[in-house]
Structure formats: structure tokens, C-alpha cells
A = this chain, B = another copy of it.
Amino acid sequence: MGFGEGGCTISTLRPELLSALRLIVITDQGLAAPRAMEAVVEKALLGGAPAIQLREKEKSSGELLEVGQRLRELTGRYGALLFVNDRFDVALAAGADGVHVGPEDISVAALRERVPAGFIIGYSCDDVAEARRAVGAGADYIGCGAVYGTTTKTDAGVAIGLERLNAMATAVAVPVVAIGGITPERAGEVAATRAAGIAVAGAVMTAEDPAEAVGCLMEPFQSRAAEP
């Protein structure tokens, strides 16, 4: 698709973060049901998922922290990163590696002032100028989408497509993670862009075999990394 040409600005960043950003599995108890979300997460971790993002909008703060603590234990056991959506209080209290925020949440600049050194901040946006401002304020990676239509996040807006994803990944100095409607079948064409990886909720949370889904989603990114 011609997306791979030119210099790669992301190769100078923390390699362990780059590797973890190949696949972020976003939790959703509603999608995982009737299975416990934690059971689906554990299968995803068994399948090699390098990062989990806790995103459960319906839970109270206390419940969210309890789930966060269980996921911290699980991700720790498998050597995966744990991010928490929106809530840096829960992220800090659970000992998570980072927080993921969007335009409606606490700003990256306000977060960066408050979190410990090395704490990872992800920021959702699909606009290059806004992404660069977020990076300037301290964002470690950008979540960009929805690449395709998505059914799991009702406020994700219209699909931006692969060209715009690639333009974003080329234009900002930190890893760009593609999100929105990504399935195992589509992972190959996303990996042909300069996106560092993908974030999915439905493709893993609803999978009959979450470990297998993780393998299929990651394979094109691992093959790409192995290329000379």
C-alpha cells in the first residue's frame, strides 16, 4: 500500500513500550458476558497480549479499583502493561503503568504534572495538530480512530480510514495505535501503515477463543517487526 516508505521516527522510543503497543486489549464486561471479563483477559494474556486497558464506564470508583487491582495482578504475572481509561486516580491506586485519556477527559498537561516519572499517558485523537499538542504536553502515544466503523464505542465518530491513520502515524513523534472496528481480518492492512499497533475491545472480548484472536491480531505486526 506504499505506507512503509521513508524514515521511521518511532524507532528511537522505548522499545518495551513500542512492543507493548502492538496490541492493547480494551476490557468490556458487557461484551465479554456471560463470561467474566477477567477470564477473557487472562485468555488474551495467555495468547500473548502485551497490554490491557481497563475501560468499564458503568462501575463505581471502588469497583473499578478492585477490578484494576485484579488486572494488575494478572498483567504482572504475564509481563503485560496495564492502562486505565480516563481515571488516573484508579490507575495510580491500582499501580497501573499508565492512563488513556481523550478530549473529554483531564488534559494531558494536567496529568503529566500529577503522575510519577515513567507513567505512560495515551491520548485519543484523529487530528495531527491536536496530536502534536498532546505529545508536546507529555503524551507517550496517540490512539487514532475510529479507523473503521465501530459498534463498541458510541461516541467514536465517523471512520477515518487507513490513509488518514497513516498520515497521523507519519506526522507525530510518538507511536500511533489504530483503534475502531479492527478485526483479525483487517489487522494485516493496518500493519501495512505506520501505526505502531492496534487497540481492540470487541475483537477479543467477544471472541470464542480470545487467545487465538490475540495471535491473529498481532501476527502482522510481529512479522513486520521481524523484517530486515
The answer to the question of A89 belonging to the interface, with a C-beta cut-off of 8 Å to chain B, is yes
Q: Hey, what's the 0/1 contact readout for A34-72 against B, CB within 8 Å counting as 1? A: 000000000000000000000000001111010000000
A63 to B61, CA, bound (A): 18
Q: Which residues from chain B contact A103 at a C-beta distance below 8 Å?
A: 62
Interface contact B93-A61, CB-CB below 8 Å: no
6 chain-A/chain-B pairs, Cβ below 8 angstroms = A61-B106, A62-B105, A62-B106, A88-B89, A89-B89, A89-B114
Residues from chain B with Cβ under 8 Å of A93 in the complex? 106, 110-111, 113-114
For A60, what are the chain B residues with a Cβ–Cβ distance below 8 Å? 104-105
**Residue of B whose beta carbon sits closest to that of A69:** B110
Min CB gap A67→B, angstroms: 12
Mark A99-125 against chain B: 1 for CB-CB distance below 8 A, else 0: 001011111001101100000000000
A167 within 8 Å of B by Cβ? no
List CB contacts (< 8 Å) of A59-95 with chain B. 60-63, 65, 86-90, 92-93
Instruction: With both chains docked as a complex, state the minimum distance between the C-beta of A94 and any C-beta of chain B, in angstroms.
Output: 9
